[in-house]
Amino acid sequence: MSFIVAIDGPAGTGKGTITEIISKKLNLVNIGTGSAYRCVALAAIENNINIDDTEKIVDLLDKIKIEFKKINDKDLIFLNGKDVTKRLREKDVSTTVSKVSLIKDVRFKLTDIFKKQAETRDVIMEGRDIGTCVFPNADVKIFLDASLDERIRRRVKQNEELGIDMSLQEIEENMRQRDYDDKTREFGALKQADDAIYIDSSDLSIDEVVNKVIDIINVKKEKIKRE
């Protein structure tokens, strides 16, 4: 049986960063599910498909291949064989991905892909609905949160590091819109699972969050050993 860690929470809470660090420390396969939704949005953009054309986007799903790979200790994501890790963070993808993630068939298809990733390997998976829909029986569930101001500040810093040009206003609007879409969609809405542990990272350093989560994982592993 695979060991599964589910990390959910809104955009900009540091899920991606802490998941990557923990995956290396504990040798877990790191699956950033938001990147998969971003791949579908990017494929739609590249194929000139209108983001409101649900039927065409669903058809596209059969033509795209999404792969999660670790190369030189870096987690990379490939769309049809091409490394799109950085491209997925660009403005056009960030502003269209919410709509793509509302489409029921997109969610079902990607959820299947995510489940397959954990069939034979221990994973740490981050997203919005991992502890509620993708792996309701995950061994460890964390709901990572932070204040809106702090999340915007982090996204500004991340964009600077990646060389992505987005104004503060654009970042804030995008974040508010995605919060709204994430919380109100019909399937896979962002919601804390009843058995998830809540962590507010607003005033915590990355190391502090990482250590908290690792402690929780270790306690669970010990418990499984004793059973």
CA 173 to chain centre: 20
The closest of 168, 200, 219, 176 to 5, measured between CA atoms, is 219
Please state the closest distance from residue 226 (CB atom) to ligand DC, in A.
32
Q: Is the CB of 138 or the CB of 188 nearer to ligand DC?
A: 188
What's the full length of the chain, in residues?
227
CA 29 to chain centre: 13
Alpha-carbon span 176 to 31, nearest angstrom: 24
Q: Is the CB of 130 or the CB of 171 nearer to ligand DC?
A: 130
Q: Among all chains, which residue has been given the structure tokens 């792996």?
A: 135
**Please, what is the end-to-end C-alpha distance for the chain in angstroms?**
14
Please state the closest distance from residue 48 (CB atom) to ligand DC, in A.
21
Please state the closest distance from residue 34 (CB atom) to ligand DC, in A.
2
Q: Is the CB of 38 or the CB of 154 nearer to ligand DC?
A: 38
Kindly state the DSSP code that residue 196 receives in the 8-state scheme: P
In degrees, rounded to 5, the angle at the alpha carbon of residue 170 between the alpha carbons of residues 165 and 173 is 150
Please state the closest distance from residue 223 (CB atom) to ligand DC, in A.
26
Residues in contact with ligand DC by the rule CB under 6 A: 11, 33-35, 37-38, 97-98, 101, 127-130, 178, 182, 188
Q: Is the CB of 97 or the CB of 146 nearer to ligand DC?
A: 97
Please state the closest distance from residue 99 (CB atom) to ligand DC, in A.
9
Q: Is the CB of 91 or the CB of 221 nearer to ligand DC?
A: 91
Kindly state the DSSP code that residue 192 receives in the 8-state scheme: -
Give buried/exposed letters for 15-38 (b at 16+ CB in 10 A, else e): bbebbbbbbeebebbbbbbbbbbb
Q: Is the CB of 186 or the CB of 227 nearer to ligand DC?
A: 186
Please state the closest distance from residue 134 (CB atom) to ligand DC, in A.
7
Alpha-carbon span 213 to 81, nearest angstrom: 33
